[in-house]
């Protein structure tokens, strides 16, 4: 199984930096806060974070291609910095951030990597800070329809391009975030394909308080 850093470099090299016009809502305020975005990718989530008026945003990703593209796309913003880093071993001091946004990053890891990454998120958060989590849920239509070459763990697909994609249950997310003092987690569902009501997109969202 190829290292995911190399796989994502190829993926971003092919598809570039682009995102939909849909803006994301967040369950906590970012205004005046120091925010860490985990796995900025093509910048879609970052563009919504910036609109919420944080004091500073540090965004990291392990893909050199994503880093180059997003630095160019957001070059005019003085309160946003980009770092090449792996979520399992972050180059930040303990208690550096008010909020960690972890949207669609942990699904690209196996279970031990997910646990290490969440431990790092906990470490770099200040007391009273939040981790915001959102990712794919068990039962999402893509779990059954996705083109795969293997399943290295339960509900974890290895796709043809070498990409890992894990699908979470609510109980799994609560367990993953169990070191936090309070965790609120639940499912979201929507039907994204017109005239195909049987195709249900399922997501797990959570807010964890340190």
Tens digit of each residue's pLDDT (9 = 90 or more) over 98-155: 999 999 999 999 999 999 999 999 999 999 999 999 999 999 998 876 556 678 898 9
Q: pTM for the complete prediction?
A: 0.91
Q: Which domains does the chain have, with CATH numbers?
A: 4-17+28-209 (3.40.50.150)
Tens digit of each residue's pLDDT (9 = 90 or more) over 45-77: 999 999 999 999 999 999 999 999 999 999 999
DSSP characters over 50-72: HTT--SEEEEEES-HHHHHHHHH
Q: How far apart are CA 201 and CA 190, in angstroms?
A: 5
Inter-CA distances, 52 with 22, 32, 34, 60, Å? 14, 9, 12, 19
Cβ proximity of 97 and 34 under 8 Å: yes
Residue 107: which of 57, 37, 169, 182 has the closest Cα? 169
């Amino acid at each position: 199984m190829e290292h995911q850093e190399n796989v994502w470099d190829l993926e971003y090299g092919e598809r570039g930096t682009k995102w939909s016009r849909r803006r994301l809502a967040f369950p906590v305020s970012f205004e005046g806060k120091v925010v860490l975005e985990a796995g900025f990718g093509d910048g879609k989530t970052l563009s919504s974070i910036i609109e919420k008026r944080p004091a500073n945003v540090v965004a990291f990703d392990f893909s050199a291609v994503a880093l180059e593209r997003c630095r160019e796309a957001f070059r005019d913003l003085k309160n946003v910095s980009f770092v090449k880093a792996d979520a399992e071993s972050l180059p930040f001091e303990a208690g550096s951030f008010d909020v960690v946004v972890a949207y669609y990053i942990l699904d690209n890891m196996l279970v031990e990597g997910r646990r290490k990454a969440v431990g790092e998120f906990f470490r770099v958060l200040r007391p009273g800070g939040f981790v915001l989590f959102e990712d794919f849920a068990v039962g999402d239509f893509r779990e059954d329809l996705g083109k795969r070459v293997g399943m290295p763990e339960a509900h974890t697909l290895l796709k043809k391009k070498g990409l890992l994609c894990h699908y979470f249950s609510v109980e799994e997310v609560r367990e993953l975030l169990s070191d936090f003092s309070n965790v609120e987690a639940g499912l979201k569902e929507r039907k994204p394909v017109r005239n195909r009501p049987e195709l249900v997109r399922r997501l797990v969202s959570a807010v964890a308080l340190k």
